[in-house]
């Protein structure tokens, strides 16, 4: 097993022990269950799914920030570095762990949302839905990367709080500032009546992945300067 795989496994184990893993999965799966179990027209179901996924991605950012900050403060990240594991590997391992759990939860929530909305919305097609959900997933990855960046420079509680504020700000901008064509969350809410949903999903995914890359590079630079 590679060093990244080892760190990722240890990160998932730590998320499980600290109940953060359950909280993260519950945030996503709870959204899908709410959409599936509460009867509503298809357009309303899509809006609920969009808002719920926005909240779940914010939770993911806060968990990533608090978890990595705790690893630094408790010295576990430093212990790994003394065992010839690079700081970059520690960062990537935690990103893979939190992102992997988040994507599993998002797929489950999206599947439940599709099953709830598709019977009543004839315009809802699998390919546009998948494209927009992919854009939402990329935005979630970006928030996780931002959370890890904050976790490299702040103590656990302030890091989690700052990640919550940043996540809420991104979600608010997604709904009230950015056009639907650049905001996967807004595109998901308006999906039944949206023109060119596939393009909206692809553009949103591109922005999310680019933001993820920038945040991870900044986090790696910051992690190289802090004491572990």
> For 85-139, how does the pLDDT look when each residue is reduced to its tens digit (9 = 90+)?
889 999 999 999 999 999 999 999 999 888 877 766 656 788 888 999 999 999 9
Average pLDDT over residues 191-206: 84
C-alpha 165/C-alpha 153 separation (Å) is 16
**Other C-beta atoms lying within 10 Å of the C-beta of residue 38:** 11
User: Over the stretch 20-40, which tens digit does the pLDDT of each residue have?
Assistant: 999 999 999 999 888 888 777
pTM, rounded to two decimals = 0.94
The more confident residue out of 202 and 228 is 202
Per-residue pLDDT band for 140 (boundaries 50, 70, 90) equals very high
Each residue's pLDDT tens digit, 169-187: 999 998 888 776 778 888 8
In whole angstroms, give the CA distance from residue 138 to residue 107: 13
pLDDT of amino acid 80: 87
Q: Which helix (H) or strand (E) holds 188?
A: helix 184-189
What per-residue confidence (pLDDT) applies to 83?
A: 83
Which helix H or strand E contains 42, and what residues bound it? helix 42-73
Which ranges in 83-118 belong to alpha helices (H)?
Answer: 87-117
* Residue 11 pLDDT: 92
Q: Within 13 Å and on the Cβ side, how many CA atoms surround 38?
A: 12
């Amino acid at each position: 097993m590679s060093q990244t795989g080892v760190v990722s496994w240890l990160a998932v184990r730590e998320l499980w022990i600290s109940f953060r893993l359950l909280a993260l999965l519950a945030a996503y799966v709870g959204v899908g269950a709410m959409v599936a179990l509460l009867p509503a027209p298809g357009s309303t179901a899509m809006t609920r799914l969009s808002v719920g996924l926005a909240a779940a991605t914010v939770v993911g950012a806060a968990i990533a920030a608090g978890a990595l900050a705790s690893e630094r403060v408790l010295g576990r990240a430093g212990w790994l570095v003394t065992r010839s594991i690079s700081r970059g590997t520690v960062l990537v391992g935690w990103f893979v762990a939190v992102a992997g759990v988040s994507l599993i939860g998002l797929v489950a929530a999206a599947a439940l949302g599709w099953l709830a909305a598709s019977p009543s919305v004839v315009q809802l097609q699998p390919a546009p839905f998948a494209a927009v959900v992919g854009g939402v997933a990329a935005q979630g990855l970006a928030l996780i990367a931002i959370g890890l960046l904050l976790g490299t420079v702040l103590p656990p509680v302030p890091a989690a709080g700052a990640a919550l504020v940043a996540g809420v700000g991104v979600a608010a901008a997604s709904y009230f500032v950015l056009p639907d064509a650049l905001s996967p969350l807004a595109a998901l809410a308006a999906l039944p009546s949206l023109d060119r949903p596939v393009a909206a999903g692809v553009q949103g995914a591109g922005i999310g992945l680019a933001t993820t890359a920038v945040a991870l590079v900044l986090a790696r630079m910051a992690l190289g300067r802090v004491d572990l």
